[in-house]
DNA sequence: TCTTGTTTACAGCCAG
DNA sequence: CTGGCTGTAAACAAGA
């Protein structure tokens, strides 16, 4: 997967026919949905990703997160009316979902197109959105499956790739389970210094591969357990120590590990200022393609301005910064426990399900306090 | 037995 | 053209 949209559709797509000029992204927000006009969201709630190069789930992330508050303002959009909670979760994409499509607006369902994200991107997104900024392999699987129907098929194939990516890439760190939380598989988190992998806003392909120096040997590529450098070793030990009240033998309890930035924030809650998050533009599509995305005319200067400034609604900066809002989880909790749960029949996706499910799973499977802030600060601040 | 994790190999694509 | 990144397949080991 590279700086292009890799579409794996069953049939060729005439993109031109899919996007009337009137729907070409203008950078002007749709005031009803809070999404850009160009998001081409069908009004029937069918899956939308690929229509604009941005996965529907991410649109829904946008919606979902935006509905939580802080996104709203930046989007300059009103929120859809609250729908009854029975609308959740909505299987946004499957033909068998029972959705009654409006023939006037129905164009095509891209639910099973391959998302334009590399596995590394998916893993990164999954981990970043997780409550504790780390996930087990299975949770990553589940997050992906919940979000992208495409991955409900050929699971052996892509899951192997996921495992390969986790092991192969330095940006992912395996964190052993604590003795108090036995189970299968370790947790995976992001290397504290890996935050700029998707700098310049491309979640399709990293600008530069994150590499942990000294980790490489031989062909200079492989991350091998035999050649794990001291830093990585310490990283893991430190992570373990943060996870476990009983430090690993031989590891100093208060070890200040090189490579693991220590909290420096003077914030009352100990969290780093979120503002750092927005320091770089993180888009979900490549601006490097001057001709636009998917053949669309994306030369709109305003769009670029917005995206580069982090104001673009699809900007990862936006998406992540809101998630990282310290109030986010509490808002999510609120959403889970009252009728204010944002339900948008037209836009609800499995993301809602995924996030909440994940949140619930995470909260149930992890001691939130126990794992609190594990790596989150350095990761977030480096985004 | 199944899942998880590591490693090797190779092919395709893209940027420089 | 070359090197880097990514996706895929496969073999293998270890652990639950």
Pick out residues whose CB falls under 7 Å from strand C.
A 1-2, 117-120, 154, 156-158, 160-161, 163-165, 169, 182-184, 205-206, 208-209
What distance in Å separates the CA atoms of residue A372 and residue A303, rounded to the nearest whole number? 37
E-strand ranges in A75-228 read 134-136, 172-175, 187-190
| A121 CA to C1 C1' distance (Å) | 29
In angstroms, how far is C10 C1' from A256 CA?
A: 40
Give the closest nucleotide to A228 (alpha carbon vs C1'). Answer: B6
Residue A159: predicted pLDDT: 94
Point out which residues pair with A136 in neighbouring strands.
Answer: A187
pLDDT at A117 > cutoff 70: yes
- Quote the pLDDT of residue A177: 83
- Other CB atoms within 10 Å distance of the CB of residue A160: 11
| Greatest extent of chain A over all pairs of C-alpha atoms, in Å | 67
N- to C-terminal Cα separation, chain A: 21
Buried b (16+ CB within 10 A) or exposed e, A198-212: bebbbbbbbeeebbb
User: How confident is residue A203, by pLDDT bands cut at 50, 70 and 90?
Assistant: low
Overall average pLDDT of the A71-86 stretch? 29
CB A324 within 8 A of CB A307: no
Q: Alpha helix (H) ranges present in chain A?
A: 15-18, 56-67, 70-75, 119-129, 137-147, 155-168, 230-243, 301-308, 316-323, 328-337, 350-365, 368-371, 376-382
In this prediction, residues A66-92 reach a mean pLDDT of 29
A224 touches strand B (CB under 7 A): yes
Taking the C1' atom of B13, which residue's CA lies nearest? A2
- Of A89-93, A133-137, A316-320, highest mean pLDDT: A133-137
Torsion angle in degrees (nearest 10) through CA of A253, A254, A259, A265: 140
Its pTM surpasses 0.85? no
Tell me the CA–C1' distance in angstroms for A161 and B10: 14
Q: Which sign, positive or negative, has the C-alpha torsion A249, A253, A255, A261?
A: positive
Point out the nucleotide closest to A120 (alpha carbon to C1′).
Answer: C6
Instruction: Judge whether residue A257 has pLDDT over 70.
Output: no
Helix (H) and strand (E) counts for chain A? 13, 3
**Structure tokens, A339:** 């009728």
Strand order in the sheet with A187-190: A134-136, A187-190, A172-175
Q: Which of A74-83, A156-165, A201-210, A369-378 has the lowest mean pLDDT?
A: A74-83
On average, the pLDDT of chain A sits at 48
In angstroms, the CA A330 to CA A218 distance is 47
What integer is the mean pLDDT of A2-16?
Answer: 35
Q: CA of A6 vs C1' of C5, distance in Å?
A: 15
Strand B within 7 A of A157 CB: no
Under the banding of pLDDT at 50, 70 and 90, the label for residue A207 is low
């Amino acid at each position: 997967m590279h700086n292009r949209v890799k579409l794996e559709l069953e049939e060729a797509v005439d993109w031109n026919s899919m996007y009337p000029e009137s729907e070409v992204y203008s950078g002007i927000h749709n005031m009803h949905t809070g999404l850009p006009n160009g998001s081409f969201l069908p009004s029937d709630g069918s899956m939308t990703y690929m229509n604009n190069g941005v996965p529907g789930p991410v649109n829904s992330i946008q919606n979902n997160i935006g509905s939580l508050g802080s996104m709203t303002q930046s989007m300059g959009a009103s929120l859809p009316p609250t729908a009854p909670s029975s609308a959740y979760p909505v299987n946004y994409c499957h033909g068998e979902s029972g959705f009654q499509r409006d023939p006037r607006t129905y164009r095509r369902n891209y639910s099973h197109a391959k998302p334009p994200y590399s596995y590394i991107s998916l893993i990164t997104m999954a981990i970043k959105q997780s409550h504790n900024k780390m996930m087990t392999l299975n949770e990553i699987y589940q997050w992906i499956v919940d979000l992208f129907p495409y991955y409900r098929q050929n699971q052996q194939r892509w899951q192997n790739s996921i495992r390969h990516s986790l092991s192969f890439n330095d940006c992912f760190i395996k964190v052993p389970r604590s003795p108090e939380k036995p189970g299968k598989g370790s947790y995976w988190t992001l290397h504290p210094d890996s935050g700029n992998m998707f700098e310049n806003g491309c979640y399709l392909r990293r600008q530069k591969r994150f590499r942990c120096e000294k980790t490489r040997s031989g062909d200079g590529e492989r991350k091998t357990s035999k050649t794990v450098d001291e830093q990585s070793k310490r990283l893991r030990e430190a992570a373990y120590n943060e996870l476990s009240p009983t430090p690993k033998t031989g590891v100093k309890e208060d070890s200040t590990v090189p490579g693991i930035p220590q909290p420096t924030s003077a914030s009352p809650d100990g969290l780093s200022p979120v503002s750092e998050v927005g320091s770089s533009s993180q888009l979900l599509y490549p601006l490097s393609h001057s001709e636009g995305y998917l053949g669309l005319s994306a030369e709109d200067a305003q769009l670029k301005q917005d995206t580069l400034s982090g104001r673009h609604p699809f900007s990862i900066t936006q998406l992540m910064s809101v998630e990282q809002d310290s109030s986010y989880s509490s808002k999510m909790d609120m959403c889970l426990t009252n009728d204010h749960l944002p339900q948008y029949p037209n836009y609800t996706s499995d993301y809602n399900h995924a996030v909440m499910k994940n949140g619930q799973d995470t909260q149930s499977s992890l001691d939130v306090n126990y794992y609190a802030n594990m790596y989150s600060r350095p990761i977030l601040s480096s985004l």
